Structure 1
Amino acid sequence: RQWKAEFHRWNNYMMDWKNQFNDYSSKKGSCGGL
């Protein structure tokens, strides 16, 4: 199914973005969630 592949790709993209954001936040030293 096409939509499943698209969803999987989008999900991976969001996870990657969240990981980068968390890494940036922890490097900054801030301890506040979104």
Structure 2
Amino acid sequence: MKMNPAHQKGSSKAFTIIFWLLLMGSLTLFFNG
């Protein structure tokens, strides 16, 4: 899954990681709640 060009800086990478953490967290709360 490559949504961004490989030559971008680490800020977009950190944003992607935070985005996925929020997404997985919300999905976990949804399925467990």
**TM-score, normalisation: structure 1:** 0.69
Q: Which runs of 5+ in 1 are unaligned?
A: 27-34
Misfit runs of 4+, over 3 Å: none
Rg bigger for which structure?
1
The percentage of counterpart residues that share the same residue type is 0
- Counterparts of 1:5 and 1:18, CA distance in 2: 20
Shift of 1:13: 0.4
Matched, 1:5 2:16: no
Structure whose residues are more often helix by fraction = 1
Alpha-carbon RMSD: 1.2
Work out the number of aligned pairs and report it: 26
Q: Which has the higher contact order (CA 8 A, sep 6+)?
A: 1
